[in-house]
Amino acid sequence: MPVEESKPVDETVSAVDAELKAKQAAAESEGEEEDDEPTTGDAAGTAASGSGAAAAGKKKKKSKRKKAKELLTGKSGSGSSDRDDTEADLKRAIGGLTPQQLQELMALNPALAGELAAASGGATPSPDKMAEMLKKMNLQDIMTGLAAAGKNAKDMASYKFWQTQPVPRFGEDDKTVEEGPLKIQTVDEVPKEPAPLVAGFEWVEMDLTNDDEIKEVYELLNGHYVEDDEAMFRFNYGPGILKWAMMPPGWAKHYHVGVRATQSRKLVAFISAIPVRVRVRNKVITCSEVNFLCVHKKLRGKRLAPVLIKEITRISNLHEIWQGLYTAGIVLPRPVSTCRYYHRSLNWQKLYECNFVHLPNGSKPQYQIRKYAVPDRTSTKGLREMKPADMEAVVKLMDKYMKRFDIAPEMTVEEATHWFCPTVEAGQDQYIWSYVVEDDEKNITDFFSFYCIESSAINNPKHDVIRVAYLFYYATDVAFKEPFDKAALKSRLNDLIHDALILAKLARFDVFNALSLMDNALFLEQQKFGAGDGQLHYYLFNYRANPIAGGVDKKNQLDEKNLSGVGLVLP
């Protein structure tokens, strides 16, 4: 499930943020070039010209270092005039933001917001105060305050637990590495009993087939799981989608781990996992896909989250699963990929009344309603709802399409049936929508799917929930044309996703969300998706993998040229 409540970002804010990140990327690039330069010249040069080559090497390195330093510090040099112009341009752009836009910019750059808060005595300054402080900061201070990893970057103290775990470290050699497990164990080395909890709490297995127990789980999640930074929206789960997410083929009760208060018997913490097979480039590994880590707000100072992670790891290891897969909206050591959220309004008026979107400067509500209107009917010939009988053809198409990505799921027909065409129990709301396209010979040429998670609109006088559609998996045989025709793929995906938006609107969805993964960069902007303020980081536990493109560039903008290597959507 999504682990980040993301909202659309104003286009002006996105442009300013991209400019800031471009300057930061330029500074980092200068540093990388410096590191690549030899300290004393290469071996051939040294052999040929002795100390003269060594001196040249040192001089070249010093030049690189000097350029990077001047970029950030603005110390005198031939580029100081350019630096002054850059600083003036940035300050002019920041100074032109409205208070709301300035708050969005700070949400995208929490480390910079933290510097401003610290400078103002620890309290978050008002937008006017922020603008005044930014005007007084030089370029070096602004750049230092940027969060390189984006929204929700954690401070280093938060990594104490992860430093004890088999995960890649920040600061390790970033060059290409051999991919594979970081730690090899046997079942005999795994503790047979869970670690003791603090007094007053005890471990339990939650039985999700029991109506009372699954009610406890969704009540805990609905009250204490992910919400946005302003506490305006919180994921709102029902029992149907929770069973869908946590009880696919291969599920087991021992992967549904809870913590109860001993006296009250109240469920105060939960974590779950499901066994999945994932291909990471040319290797297929079995992982525990970890999800729904949730701790009651009143107990978050008791460090229950690391204990829950250790316990789900222990249980997985006892069943000979040694790798883990998880996502987070926060930065942990160390993401294998990072994708950005994008949002497409379907019911703009409702989203505006819920403060999910804002009225752009110079616009009017009726203009936005008209902008995001969609037709009443789909246009793709042969489009129909997916049926269980389609599964073999869907899996065959999906397998071929997913081979184009560096990380992707390996699904059986049984698993695909569960994810795309589950049996919805009587009285439950639909939570997954799946469609195929059939040609004149009844061959399935395309499919797409999306699922629903409602978000509670906290303390909103007009609306209780926002119905949110999340783009799930899709595939099209247009991708297999020889030679590869990127323009044709782009056209076909735009047609399919346009119809997905129409179907989502007919199903009463208010907004359609997608990440920058797979081939999404080919249609997000064309289908009027706006960049969000949230990111989703992908992690592999006990497995070292080289970085995988997340579909955005160093400016955090869509990278249509290179696209993404991520073919994995965690429901």
Peptide bond connecting 127 to the previous residue in cis, omega within 30 degrees of 0: no
DSSP state string for 278-344: EEETTEEEEEEEEEEEEE-GGGGGG-HHHHHHHHHHHHHHHTT--EEEEEESSB-S--SEEEEEEEE
* Other Cβ atoms within 10 Å of 465 Cβ, number: 14
Residues 475, 519: Cα–Cα separation, whole Å: 10
Exposure string of 129-158, with b = 16+ CB inside 10 Å and e = fewer, is: ebbebbeebebbebbebbbebbbbbeeeee
* AA identity, residue 362: G
**Strand 444-457 to strand 407-409: parallel, antiparallel, or no bridges (unpaired)?**
unpaired
Catalytic residues: 571
Chain-centroid distance, C-alpha 286: 22
Q: Across the chain, how many H-helices and E-strands are there?
A: 16, 14
The strand pair at 323-328 and 283-295 is best described as: parallel
DSSP three-state, residue 220: helix
Beta bridge partners of 434: 449
DSSP-derived 3-state class of residue 17: helix
Helix (H) or strand (E) holding 88: helix 80-95
Q: Give exposure, 42-54, as e/b (b: 16+ Cβ within 10 Å).
A: eeebbeeeeeebb
The Cα diameter of the chain in Å comes to 83
Q: Which helix (H) or strand (E) holds 432?
A: strand 432-438
Which pair of tokens denotes residue 117? 């808060």
DSSP string of 538-570, one letter each residue: EEEET-B-----BSB-TTSSB-TTT-B-B----
Residues 6+ apart with CB under 8 A from 370: none
Q: How many other C-beta atoms lie within 10 A of the C-beta of residue 512? A: 24
CA–CA distance, 540 with 325 (Å, rounded to integer): 5
Which residue is listed with tokens 């980081």? 537
Residues recorded for the chain: 571
Is 447 in contact with 499 (CB distance < 8 Å)? Answer: no
How many CB atoms are closer than 10 A to CB 334?
20
Angle of helix 413-420 relative to helix 391-402, nearest 10 degrees, comes to 100
Contact 104, 533 (CB under 8 A): yes
Token pair for 519? 């081939």
User: Which structure tokens are listed for 2?
Assistant: 């999504």
- What one-character DSSP code corresponds to residue 522? G
> Which tokens in the block code for residue 413?
């027909």
